[in-house]
Amino acid sequence: MAHTGTGFFDRKGHFFKTARDATVSDLAALLGQIGEGESLAPGIAYMLLERRAEIERLFAEHDQMLEEEAAMKAARGGDPLSNVAKLPSRPAH
């Protein structure tokens, strides 16, 4: 007898039984070929999904550092060399 079920599709239209598998497929496609021979991308994609919370926390910290960096540059008046000091010249031997 026929029955219904739920499935998930990745961006290429491939069918998967779980949302996780469809997402891993999309992540692996985004990463592309990694390594020689069989690609390491699917394994890396799985790890990215499993460590999503930590990765999102890292990106949030990164964004905050970028904002702080931009604020420091603005405070210096946009001079990219204002935090660089010229070293004294050394006498020739």
Q: What is the pLDDT of residues 33-60, one digit of tens each?
A: 999 899 999 999 999 999 999 999 999 9
Q: What pLDDT is recorded for position 16?
A: 96
State the CB neighbour count (10 A cutoff) for residue 8: 15
Question: For the residues 23-35, what does the mean pLDDT come to?
Answer: 95
Single-letter amino acid code for the residue at 14: H
What is the reported pTM? 0.68
Q: What pLDDT is recorded for position 17?
A: 96
- DSSP H or E stretch at residue 15: strand 15-16
- Give CA separation, 66 vs 34, 59, 61, 62, in Å: 29, 10, 9, 6
Q: Choose among 80, 26, 82: nearest CA to 49.
A: 26
